[in-house]
Amino acid sequence: MTVPTAGRRERKKAATRQNIADTALRLFLERGYDEVGIRDVAAEADVAVTTVFSHFTSKEALVFSQDENFEHGLARAVTARPPNEPLIPALRREIHAMVRHCTAESAAPLWRMIDSSPALRQYEESMHLRHAEALAAAIAADLALPAPTTACRTLARFTVDAYALAREADDPAAAVDEIFHMIEAAWTTTAAARP
């Protein structure tokens, strides 16, 4: 076993959380996000309303429960990349993977739901900004800077922009390449790009 007996309590907690998330996502996809209330989710998952909010900070968070795993994926793409690989290509690879992942056939209904709900779109945007801040910190660390500079923060935001823009483009993969071509040009003109 790779997992060192995570304790029954933690396993039960994880199971409850998973049950809630699965139930919520199923109901949302069946009836539509706005047509399903938190009380419906709680009843169907056979838990109390307060239990839902002890596992998820908001209704929208129920939809993005899986993507929280990728929360630090971008930062890890910087810190854990092959040695000697330049920064920008590493970021481009990661964005490519993320775009491919969320434009997959199986995820289509989910993203259609997200795109049609202003509340969910807004939640996703603010997630992206959090990711950008984490990424800026990782980039600064990679350059051995004491704190993120304006250039680091800018690169981070441009990178998450690439994800958001490519997702909406007709040809997502081509869009990633096109936008990263622009990012590369922007980055190479900064002093931070040269050691």
Partner DNA sequence: ACCGTAACACTAACGGTTAGCTTAAAAAAT
Partner DNA sequence: ATTTTTTAAGCTAACCGTTAGTGTTACGGT
Which residue ranges make up the site for a copy of itself (CB under 8 A)?
121-122, 125-126, 129, 150-151, 153-154, 157-158, 161-162, 164-165, 169, 175, 178-179, 181-183, 185-190
Please answer whether residues 98 and 163 qualify as being in contact, where contact means their C-beta atoms are separated by less than 8 angstroms: yes
Please answer whether residues 96 and 176 qualify as being in contact, where contact means their C-beta atoms are separated by less than 8 angstroms: yes
Structure tokens at 70: 């990728």
Whole-angstrom distance, CA of residue 148 vs CA of residue 154: 10
Residues touching DNA, count (CB under 7 A): 25
Q: Does 53 bind DNA (CB under 7 A)?
A: yes
Q: Does 68 bind DNA (CB under 7 A)?
A: no
Q: Does 3 bind DNA (CB under 7 A)?
A: no
Query: Which of a copy of itself, DNA, none sits in contact with 164, Cβ below 5 to 8 A by type?
Result: a copy of itself
Structure tokens at 127: 């997630």
3-class DSSP assignment, residue 66: coil
Applying CB under 7 A, among 21, 60, 132, 159 the residue interacting with DNA is 60
**E-strand stretches of 63-162:** none
Whole-angstrom distance, CA of residue 188 vs CA of residue 184: 6
Please enumerate in sequence order all residues whose Cβ is within 8 A of that of 99, keeping only pairs 6 or more positions apart, or say none. 163, 166, 167, 172, 173, 176
Angle separating helix axes 118-142 and 150-168, nearest 10 degrees: 140
Applying CB under 7 A, among 32, 37, 86, 109 the residue interacting with DNA is 37
Q: Does 13 bind DNA (CB under 7 A)?
A: yes
Structure tokens at 1: 């076993």
Query: Which of DNA, a copy of itself, none sits in contact with 150, Cβ below 5 to 8 A by type?
Result: a copy of itself
Q: Does 54 bind DNA (CB under 7 A)?
A: yes
| Least Å from the CB of residue 33 to DNA | 8
Q: Does 125 bind DNA (CB under 7 A)?
A: no
Query: Which of DNA, a copy of itself, none sits in contact with 58, Cβ below 5 to 8 A by type?
Result: DNA
Residue ranges that bind DNA, judged by CB under 7 A: 7-10, 12-13, 16-17, 36-39, 46-51, 53-55, 57-60
